[in-house]
Amino acid sequence: MRLLFIGDIVGKPGRVMVKHHLPKIKEKYNVDFVVANYENASHGFGITPKNYKELKNSGIDVMTGGNHSFDKKEIFDLLENEPILRPLNMYEELPGKGIFINEEKKLAIISLMGDFTMPRFNNPFRIIEKYIQELEDYVIFIDFHAEATAEKRAMFIMLKNKISAFVGTHTHIGTDDLVIDTDAGYLTDIGLTGCFDNVIGMSEKEPLQRCKTGFSKKYDVVDECKKIFQAVVFDFEGKKCVDAFKIKAYDFEEEFISQKAFKL
């Protein structure tokens, strides 16, 4: 089975890149299943039902969340009824779920959120162990939405003998450490899909004001910018990850493989 994961889709520029590139990439690389992180998809903060349908129609099978999962209250019904996840370690009484199961493919997709600098919920290191035990017969893919690279690496080290692939999101900056370790794929952060010529996909005006004065307005996403599409592909045989590679595309130019996984 071949799974493709797209990093934080930021605003309209990110959605445009997904709609343009994903259908061609799925066909070219014979992708069986697509996962994407949605939490910045609607002008940088959460996702609306309209934008959810737009991305789903582009070919995404499951969407994972993060600290902005609840920014758009109108998606609460979707979180209950559609393959769109919020982090597993959020409190159980909140809308939605943190795990998607595809019984036909024996595939489990988990959305998990880090602790450092994030909204405070259940400890992700403790809660994930409980669920991993119940999924030992499945290919397990985890999107760990976290700030600190060390926290992502520590989580992978703890889980690598029990999962199939693990990718970090949230920083919007891709890392250069794609590996296969103990039959599990790992990447600290896939990076954003959207604008790349400003600050983490957002207009530079507000971040610069915050850096200089300590105060800022809400971050904004501009429509006109230089755009990037970033994804990672994992090949599984049974539960084992046997190959992986990163795909990049700038604006509407043809995509290319930017990195092959190193096997430890």
| Residues tagged active-site | 68
CB of 107 closer than 8 Å to CB of 76:
no
Residues in a beta bridge with 20: none
CB of 234 closer than 8 Å to CB of 164:
yes
| All residues at 6 or more sequence positions from 56 whose CB lies less than 8 Å from its CB, including other chains | 63, 82
CA dihedral angle for residue 113, residue 196, residue 260, residue 164, rounded to 10 degrees: 20
3-state secondary structure 212-234: HHCCCCCCCCCCCCCEEEEEEEE
Longest dimension (CA), the chain: 54
Q: State the CB neighbour count (10 A cutoff) for residue 81.
A: 9
Query: What token pair was written down for 129?
Result: 């162990």
